[in-house]
């Protein structure tokens, strides 16, 4: 059986694009949204956990997020994780509840968010290139096993490259659209 699986490569590249879109959805452009805190992970109980597994996140007002921490001993680590997430949010401790006022987007903050969007896009491009590398490696292995001829391997490598190029173009388009939205252009 061949190790090369085009459907698996397509699925993994589509996963890189979906992951990017999810990450970009968490970047705020004006209103409070619970998705803003989805990338935050908290170190509790000796492990890194997503914020939504240790607290309830809600948006009671258009410019305010509320984080209700379930275990009082986790309030400090949750507050620290939110501050260090690079989202520009400063939690206000109110017992087991953290209130996060959403500041106005200044030009400087917009540039920071655009930079973060670029970083997310670069990570997605790297993921797509890693999938391409895996596909190319499996094709070379299959050629050595005699499953594919050299011509067939080169043709399939061309397909993998076309898939990679299309995926990276989709990543670039999503990132450019989000940057324009953030910068208000």
Q: How far apart are CA 128 and CA 35, in angstroms?
A: 24
- Out of 60, 77, 101, a domain closes at 101
**111/170 same-domain check:** yes
Q: How far apart are CA 40 and CA 174, in angstroms?
A: 22
**88/71 same-domain check:** yes
Per-block average pLDDT, block size 10, for the chain (185 residues)?
78 92 75 77 88 88 87 89 81 88 80 88 95 93 90 93 95 91 77
Q: What is the pLDDT of residue 1?
A: 40
Domain that holds residue 44: 34-101
**114/178 same-domain check:** yes
Q: What is the pLDDT of residue 110?
A: 83
**133/176 same-domain check:** yes
Q: What is the pLDDT of residue 84?
A: 85
CATH of the domain at 118: 1.10.132.20
E strands, 8-159, are 41-44, 47-50, 55-61, 64-69, 92-94, 97-101
Nearest to 11 by CA among 156, 178, 167, 173: 167
- Crossing angle between the packed helical segments 150-183 and 6-25, to the nearest 10 degrees: 10
Q: What is the pLDDT of residue 33?
A: 74
What pTM was estimated for this model as a whole? 0.69
Residues whose CB is less than 8 angstroms from the CB of residue 23 and which lie 6 or more positions away in sequence, other chains included: 39, 120
Q: How far apart are CA 178 and CA 86, in angstroms?
A: 18
Total count of domains within the chain? 2
Q: Does 1 map to a domain?
A: no
Nearest to 181 by CA among 41, 69, 29, 77: 29
Residues whose CB is less than 8 angstroms from the CB of residue 2 and which lie 6 or more positions away in sequence, other chains included: 138, 142, 147, 148
Q: How far apart are CA 109 and CA 99, in angstroms?
A: 20
Q: What is the pLDDT of residue 29?
A: 60
């Amino acid at each position: 059986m061949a190790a090369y699986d085009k459907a698996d490569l397509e699925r993994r590249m589509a996963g890189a694009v979906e992951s990017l879109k999810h990450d970009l959805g968490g970047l705020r452009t004006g209103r409070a949204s619970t998705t803003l805190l989805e990338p935050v992970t908290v170190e509790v109980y000796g492990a890194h956990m997503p914020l939504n597994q240790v607290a309830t996140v809600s948006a009671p007002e258009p410019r305010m997020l509320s984080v209700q921490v379930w275990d009082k001993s986790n309030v400090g680590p949750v507050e620290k994780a939110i501050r260090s997430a690079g989202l520009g949010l400063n939690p206000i401790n109110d017992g087991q509840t953290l209130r996060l006022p959403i500041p106005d987007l200044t030009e400087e903050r917009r540039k920071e968010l655009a930079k973060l969007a670029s970083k997310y896009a670069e990570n997605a491009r790297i993921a797509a290139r890693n999938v391409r590398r895996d596909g190319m490696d499996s094709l070379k292995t299959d050629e050595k096993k005699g499953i594919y001829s050299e011509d067939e391997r080169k043709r399939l490598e061309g397909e993998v490259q076309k898939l990679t190029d299309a995926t990276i173009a989709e990543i670039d388009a999503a990132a450019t659209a989000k940057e324009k939205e953030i910068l208000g252009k």
